[in-house]
Amino acid sequence: MKTYETVIGLEVHVQLATESKVFCGCSTKFAQPPNASTCPVCLGLPGALPVLNKRAFLFAVKTALGLGCRIEGIIKFDRKNYYYPDLPKNYQISQYDLPLGHDGACEIFVNGRKKKIRIKRVHLEEDAGKLIHPASGNSSFVDFNRSGCALLEIVSEADLATPEEAYEYLTALKSILRYLDVSDCNMEEGSLRCDANISVRVKGAPGLGVKAEIKNMNSFKAVRDALRYEEGRHRGALELGEKIVQETRLWDAEQGLTRSMRSKEQAEDYRYFPEPDLVPFSVKKEEIERIKSGLPELPQAKKERLAREYKLAEYDSGLLVRDSGIAEFFERAAQASSRPKQVANWILGDVSAFLNSEGVSIKETALKAEHLAELVRLVDSGKISGKIAKGILPKIIKKGIPPSEIVKKENLSQIQDEGQLERIVEKVIAGNEKSVKDYRAGKEQALMFLVGQAMKATKGKANPQKVSALIKEKLKG
């Protein structure tokens, strides 16, 4: 059987989180009444002219720099001409031959190995409006609230070899954009959109296979699922010797398949030409350097630094830096406790589980770094058991009460008094004759049961190792 290889490239559109649109002063607030946030410019009325939003430009430069792109000194816009009723001028102001940034890269982790995904280009453009098709009647409506919102198009090289890599790339990209604080990256609200190009060829074959462009995926998972489906479809066709046509296909999440939308023969000629309403301008090197030096530490660098400074596995530090809030919290807690490894375990384990189940970010909770540090210290010093610690964590996260206070108030300290512990153990031995007999007959599980009973009797306040040793000692004689 032949082996195949898959070649994937992604085109990501990110809505920049500026307060106003890219070429006019209209608000970009989400979920407003239709056409409430419009003006002559974003409605494309005759005679209205675009003026570049400086903040959108800054966000675009930050992103390009954050993705390691080269930035050209000349910033120029072009018109992309096509007819669609959600595009009020029937052309989109975009960038064509001189994208704002080019030749960058984004690192991903697949199966424990690093892989560099090259970024071909990053360019700034305006968004279109939205068509609304009511279920009844034969009219459609246009809402231009989104028209003119600042969009950044980020195009990867076809460096992705599997749907999983595509998923990892999107995750890494999102993480960078969030660190830079330039976009919400909310795929459901449409602030991040992704189109994928995929082709499959026999391994080692010269040239690429025929590609399909896939659209209409509204989550990272959907991107992965759609690519898995396409990969299978292409392989099947190659296996059977069927012809694959170059086309655009839509992902149907409900059915879990893609459908042909249009073939490339109907592809449009966009007749790009320089936008005469916006004068090209140059950006000084010093200005770019100034923006660059103001960038926050990005996930990649942070991951390496955390692993180095706190002696963490790169896998763990990689998980910690996905969310800048988590990474920042980790550092504060690690410093306060001087037990970074344990802090990382808590954050990646119980804390993350709590956040996921509640669907909140760490910043939205009352959890303080000092409190997690204190909890780690309490467990480490044997003051409380790990079990007790797990038990009181939700209270610490939800209410922001210091762990020591909870321990004191609820009397949760481990029993330090040896005599008290001995008395409890003796009681357990006396009350569980069968288990005692079993243990003496060589059944190890019986010991576990007895330890459990003792823990239960102390409401978890005993040190299980100590209890176990004590029982063993008592039953020896």
Partner 1 sequence: MTMKDTPAAGAWLERIERLNPKINAFVHFEKENRLRQKSSRPVAIKDNISVAGELTTCASKILKGYKPPYDATVITKLKEKGYALMGKTNMDEFAFGSSCETSFYGPTKNPWDTGRIPGGSSGGSAAAVAAGMVPMALGSDTGGSVRQPAALCGIVGMKPTYGRVSRYGLIAFASSLDQIGTITSEVSLCAELLGAIGGYDELDSTSVDVAMPDYTKFLTKDIKGLRIGIPSEYFPGDGLDSDVRNSLEEAKKIFKGLGASLVEISLPHTKYAVSCYYIIAPAEASSNLARYDGVQYGLREEAGRITDMYFKTRTGGFGEEAKRRILLGTYVLSSGYYQAYYLKAMKVRTKIKNDFSGAFTSCDAILTPTSPTPAFRIGERLDDPLKMYLSDIFTIPANLAGIPGISVPCGFSRDNLPIGLQLLARPFGEETLIRLAYAFEQATEFHKRKPNI
* Residues binding partner 1 (CB under 8 A): 40, 43-52, 79, 81, 83, 85, 88-91, 140, 142, 269, 271-273, 276-279
Comparison of 49 and 313: residue with beta carbon closer to partner 1:
49
Query: Toward partner 1, which CB reaches closer, 24 or 347?
Result: 24
Cβ closest to partner 1, residue 91 vs residue 346: 91
* Shortest Cβ 193–partner 1 spacing (Å): 23
For residue 113, the cross-strand partners are 110
Q: State the nearest-atom distance from the C-beta of 399 to partner 1, in Å.
A: 52
Q: How far is the CB of 50 from partner 1 (least distance, A)?
A: 7
Which amino acid makes up residue 231? E
Residues 122/102, Cβ–Cβ less than 8 Å: yes
Cβ atoms of 317 and 303 closer than 8 Å: yes
> Cβ of residue 259: shortest distance to partner 1, in angstroms?
21
Of 134 and 276, nearer to partner 1 (C-beta) is 276
Looking at beta carbons only, is 52 or 475 nearer to partner 1? 52
Least distance from partner 1 to the Cβ atom of residue 136, Å: 17
Cβ atoms within 10 Å of 121's Cβ, excluding its own:
20
Q: Which is nearer to partner 1, 50 or 163 (CB)?
A: 50
Nearest distance in Å: CB 13, partner 1: 22
Choice between 124 and 320, CB closer to partner 1: 124
Determine the Cα angle at 224 with ends 222 and 229, to 5°.
90
Residue placing its CB nearer to partner 1 in the complex, 139 or 357: 139
Shortest Å, Cβ 287 to partner 1: 19
| Nearest-approach distance from CB 45 to partner 1, in angstroms | 7
Beta carbons within 8 Å of 117's beta carbon, 6+ residues apart: 105, 106, 107, 108, 156, 157, 159, 160, 165, 169
Q: Which is nearer to partner 1, 90 or 420 (CB)?
A: 90
In whole angstroms, the minimum distance from the beta carbon of 133 to partner 1 comes to 12
Query: Given the complex with partner 1, which of 85 and 294 has the nearer CB atom?
Result: 85
Q: Which two tokens mark 409?
A: 């108030």
Report yes or no: 227 and 213 within 8 Å, Cβ to Cβ.
no
Q: How would you list the strands of the sheet with 4-15, edge to edge? A: 70-71, 101-110, 113-126, 150-156, 4-15, 192-202, 212-217, 247-252, 257-263
Question: In whole angstroms, how close is the CB of 96 to partner 1 at the nearest point?
Answer: 11
Q: Of 43 and 307, which has the nearer Cβ to partner 1?
A: 43
CB of 124 to partner 1, least distance (A): 15
